[in-house]
Amino acid sequence: MIKGAFSALNASRRRSILTMLGIIIGVAAVIIIMAIGSGAQALILSQFETFGSNLIGVLPGKSEQNGPPAAVFGVTITTLTLDDAIALGQKNNVPHAIAVEPVSQGAGTATWRSESYDTTFFGTSADYIEVEGGELESGRFFSADEVDSTARVVVLGSTVKTELFGQSDAVGQNIRLKNTVLTVIGVMKERGTVAFQNYDDQVILPITTLQKLILGVNHLGFLRVKVDDGANIEQTMIDVTETLRERHGIKDSSGLSDDFTIQSSRDAIETLTTVTSGLSFFLAAMAALSLLVGGIGIMNIMLIRVVERTREIGLRQALGARRFDIMSQFLTEATAITLSGGIIGIVIGELMSVLITLVAQQMGYDWPFSFSLVAIIVAVSVSVAVGLIFGLYPAAKASKLDPIEALRYE
């Protein structure tokens, strides 16, 4: 029966290929989207993991049960201050903290002579490299004393340095940020984008200088705490919470009145994994809708086959074929079409996934190739199911033909 089904498909090869097209596109799309989702997830998570599992992030504003704090969406909340960061850096408050990085950010134009470049101003502490990582290409980073004294110094990201100075030496030169003259004391090595942050397109300066001389603010965008050991994350989160509650006059220990949100890098990675996995499966489900279109096409083609082979059906019935035999024949043909289309779609999908991986790696991304056995099994199973479901009606119609009327059909 299976051999006969493939022989029947081969007899009308062009029509069979066109019938398979919807299945091929649907299966290939599912494979490609699953591979892209898995590769993108691995890339994002690997970038977050470069920070290590011993970081704690503190955002202003209390997060709701169904989402992050409003600060994530660009809403300005002023509940965190530089004094909070200083308090968290004291050993009597947070014993396991080895570095605290307060952060304020802004955007504007950096100028040097006739050159100008729109960039991000990143105000932070002397603990920046300890927490964020990175290396200096030339010069030095600013010190804690320079932060305390609101020193007019700045460290440039590699892109900013190139845009303003080209191949010239930037260290010792003066640039202007919003009418404030700052001396370049260092240039960071090229690092690229990590965890959605472009480290090369930044102007880094003491947080006090950014707050008082450029932005005119007193609050922080967020702060990070580096812990001495990953095993001490939970205790450090408790210490940070208690310190901030005491400083902010919050007596409610339930957390409902907190005006800040604390999350460890491990929690952030787990949340990100859940979100990216859900998004990947959602997109794959949308792509799988094309299998429904392909199934409808198969049903229409099989109905045409029933009409074209009416005399053949009548002859088989006259020779003793049962209704079950006729029905099985057409179901087998429909399944053969979808299974063949599914296999071709898998091959095309995997080839495209390899191509996308190679292109991403050529662009400098650490993009791994993902071979999902689960996606292949699901694709084959769905293909067979589509053949059975959409082939059922034409097969039932063929099996119900009256043999005498079928033999008379011209």
Tokens found for residue 275: 């979100």
Structure tokens at 281: 């499966």
pLDDT digit string, tens, across residues 11-37: 566 666 777 777 788 788 878 877 777
Q: Which residues partner with 226 through β-bridges? A: 55, 99
> How far is it, in rounded angstroms, from Cα 191 to Cα 197?
10
Output the six-digit token pair for 353: 């996934």
Q: What value, to the nearest 5°, has the Cα angle with vertex 381 and ends 375 and 383?
A: 100
251 and 106, same structural domain?
Answer: yes
Contact in structure between 131 and 186 (CB atoms under 8 Å)? no
Residue 5: per-residue pLDDT: 46
| Lowest pLDDT segment from 43-57, 106-120, 231-245 | 43-57
What would the pLDDT profile of 108-167 be if each residue is shown by its tens digit? 999 999 999 999 999 999 999 988 888 999 999 999 999 999 999 999 999 999 999 998
Residues 284 and 177 in one domain: no
Strand partners, 55: 226
Q: Which of 218-222, 231-235, 268-272, 337-341 has the lowest mean pLDDT?
A: 268-272
Let me know whether 227 and 284 are in one domain.
Answer: no
Q: How confident is the model at residue 53 (pLDDT cuts 50, 70, 90)?
A: low
What's the confidence (pLDDT) of residue 156? Answer: 96
What is the mean pLDDT of the segment spanning 266-294? Answer: 70
Where is pLDDT greater, at 27 or 92?
92
pLDDT of 74 higher than 60: no
The H or E element spanning position 225 is strand 222-227
The pLDDT score that the predictor gives to residue 243 is: 93
Do 89 and 183 lie in a common domain?
yes
183 and 42, same structural domain? no
Q: What percent of the chain is modeled with pLDDT above 70?
A: 74
- According to the model, what pLDDT value does residue 403 have? 56
For CA atoms 218, 220, 225, 226, give the dihedral sign.
Answer: negative
Residue 278 domain flag: yes
At residue 207, the pLDDT reads: 96
Do 107 and 86 reside in the same domain of the chain?
yes
Residue 112, CB-side half-sphere exposure with 13 Å CA sphere: 20
> Between 314 and 259, where is the model more confident?
259
Mean pLDDT of the residues in the chain: 80
Per-residue model confidence (pLDDT) at position 143: 95
144 and 233 share a domain?
yes
> Rounded to whole angstroms, how far apart are CA atoms 317 and 307?
15
Confidence of residue 7 (pLDDT cuts 50, 70, 90): low
Cβ atoms of residues 365 and 348 within 8 Å: no
Residues 6+ apart with CB under 8 A from 221: 60, 71, 103, 104, 105
Distance CA(299)–CA(307), nearest Å, equals 13
Q: Is 60 exposed, middle or buried (0-12, 13-18, 19+ CB in 10 A)?
A: buried
* Backbone phi and psi for residue 143, each to the nearest 5 degrees, phi listed first: -95, 170
- Could you report the per-residue pLDDT of 379-389, keeping only the tens digit for each? 777 777 777 77
Whether residue 285 is contained in a domain is answered as yes
Is the separation of the CB atoms in 129 and 140 below 8 Å?
no
Q: What's the whole-number mean pLDDT along residues 316-324?
A: 68
Better-scored residue on pLDDT, 90 or 395: 90
Q: pLDDT band at 68, cuts 50/70/90?
A: low
What's the whole-model pTM score? 0.64
322 and 203 within one domain: no
For the chain, how many structural domains are there in total?
2
Question: What distances in angstroms separate CA 104 from CA 84, 127, 153, 155, one per listed residue?
Answer: 13, 14, 16, 15
Give yes or no: residues 275 and 324 share one domain. yes
Q: Do residues 254 and 274 both lie within one domain?
A: no
Tens digit of pLDDT for each residue in 362-379?
876 677 777 777 777 777
pLDDT at 12: 61
Q: Are 244 and 342 in a shared domain? A: no
Same domain, 275 and 235: no
Q: Which domain holds residue 87?
A: 78-258
Residue that finishes a domain, picked among 225, 258, 291 = 258
pLDDT of res. 34: 78
Whether 264 maps to a domain, the answer reads no
